[in-house]
């Protein structure tokens, strides 16, 4: 075989080997990407951190850094050992713009009944998007008091929330993923996912009772709520809770509701 033929044959073999290696690399890359691609029903959580204070009783506390990521919640004090809660270790969470109350499964000190409660104050406000992502990561029903007033809504109803002392005026915003109550009153806004809710009750078109796993609200409706809309919402709650108990993905919510109430673009 001449030198020219040897060079030509070697070039052909090199091209074949390079093509095979490239295809194998591409397939491996596709496998890694599919393994870490989040489910469309579970939003990807972006790490969030800020200066915070872990309160100790009515006065005092420890200053440090609060970090939240896909592995859980961690508080690193300026001095001392950090405290970390994995999401399965969180029994209950009450989340506000500048504060959270976290209840874990550890026993309280000195044989006091119950589990430990931690109160953390933030130096900056948590955004509605981060609050929703944190609630989704925890999974179980929580109290999320940070709704997004600009999130797409299918129906908007003007309401008043009744309390034993005082109350608040605002709007109920029915979304594909749940129900929000948005008000200017501090700490009274609320964002419920379907799985945060047990049931709804409406004795007449101008009253609505929202029963959640962590709290319940009573509303006077300034606009009538049709029975069709109420039945639709009740069906969504039942369907998502049933799906959660079976461990399957919840169905996609419809893009429109039956007539009753008003659409956001009206």
Confidence of residue 147 (pLDDT cuts 50, 70, 90): very high
User: Is residue 40 a contact partner of residue 111, using CB atoms and an 8 Å limit?
Assistant: no
Expressed as residue numbers, the domain containing 55 is: 48-144
- Sign of CA pseudo-dihedral 102, 105, 110, 111: positive
Q: Which of 117, 144, 171 is the last residue of a domain?
A: 144
Query: What tens digit of pLDDT does each residue of 6-34 get?
Result: 444 444 444 443 444 343 333 233 333 32
Give residue 254's pLDDT.
45
Whether residue 242 sits in one domain with residue 162 = yes
Does 139 share its domain with 172?
no
Does position 113 have pLDDT exceeding 50, yes or no? yes
Q: How far is CA 68 from the centre of its chain?
A: 13
**Residue 118 and residue 206 in one domain:** no
Shortest CA distance to 191 belongs to which of 203, 200, 182?
182
User: Is the domain of 186 the same as that of 238?
Assistant: yes
In this prediction, residues 72-96 reach a mean pLDDT of 94
Q: Quick one: pLDDT band at residue 46, thresholds 50, 70, 90?
A: low
Based on the fold, state whether residues 136 and 53 are members of the same structural domain: yes
DSSP string, the chain: --HHHHHHHHHHHHHHHHHHHHHHHHHHHHHHHHHHPPPTTSPPPPPEEEEEEEE-TTS-EEEEEEEEETTEEEEEESSS--EEE-GGGEEEEEEETTEEEEEEEEEPGGG-SSEEEEEEEESSPPPHHHHHHHHHHH-S--EE----TTS--SEEEEEEEE-SS-EEEEEEEE-SSEEEEEESSTTT-EEEEGGGEEEEEEEETTEEEEEESS-EEEEEESS---HHHHHHHHHHHHHHHHHHHHTPPPPPPPS---SSSB-TT-
Domains: count for the chain: 2
Confidence bin at 97 (pLDDT 50/70/90): very high
Mean pLDDT of the chain: 79
Q: What is the pLDDT of residue 183?
A: 97
Query: Residue 194 falls within a domain, yes or no?
Result: yes
CATH number of the domain at 90, please.
2.30.29.30
209 in a domain, yes or no?
yes
Percent of the chain with pLDDT over 70: 70
Under the banding of pLDDT at 50, 70 and 90, the label for residue 162 is confident
In this structure, are 91 and 67 located in the same domain?
yes
Mean local confidence (pLDDT), 38-51: 63
Question: Which CB contacts under 8 angstroms, 24+ apart, belong to 42-47?
Answer: 42/136, 43/132, 43/133, 43/136, 44/133, 45/69, 45/70, 45/133, 45/134, 45/136, 45/137, 46/130, 46/133
Per-residue model confidence (pLDDT) at position 105: 87
CA distances from 89 to 73, 92, 131 (A): 10, 9, 18
pLDDT score for 266: 47
Both 166 and 119 in a single domain? no
pLDDT mean over 28-50: 48
């Amino acid at each position: 075989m001449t030198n020219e033929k040897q060079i030509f044959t070697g070039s052909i073999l090199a091209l074949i080997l390079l093509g095979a290696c490239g295809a194998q690399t591409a397939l491996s890359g596709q496998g890694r990407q599919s393994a870490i691609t989040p489910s469309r029903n579970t939003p990807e959580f972006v790490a969030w951190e800020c200066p915070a204070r872990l309160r100790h009783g009515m006065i005092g506390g420890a200053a440090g850094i609060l970090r939240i990521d896909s592995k859980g919640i961690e508080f690193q004090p300026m001095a001392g050992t950090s405290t970390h809660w994995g999401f399965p270790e969180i029994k209950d969470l009450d989340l506000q713009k500048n504060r959270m109350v976290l209840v874990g499964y550890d026993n309280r000190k000195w044989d006091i009944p119950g589990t430990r409660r931690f109160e953390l104050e933030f130096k900056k406000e948590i955004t509605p998007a981060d609050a929703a992502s944190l609630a989704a990561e925890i999974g179980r029903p929580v109290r999320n008091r940070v709704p997004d007033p600009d999130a797409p809504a299918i129906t908007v109803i003007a309401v008043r929330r009744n309390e034993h002392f005082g109350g608040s005026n605002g709007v109920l915003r029915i979304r594909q993923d749940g129900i929000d109550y948005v008000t200017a009153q501090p700490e009274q806004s609320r964002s419920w996912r379907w799985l945060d809710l047990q049931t709804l009750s409406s004795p007449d078109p101008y009253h609505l009772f929202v029963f959640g796993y962590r709290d319940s609200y009573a509303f006077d409706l300034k606009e009538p709520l049709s029975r069709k809309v109420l039945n639709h919402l009740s069906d969504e709650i039942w369907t998502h809770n049933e799906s959660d108990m079976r461990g399957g993905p919840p169905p996609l919510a419809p893009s429109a509701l039956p007539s009753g109430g008003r659409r956001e673009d009206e």
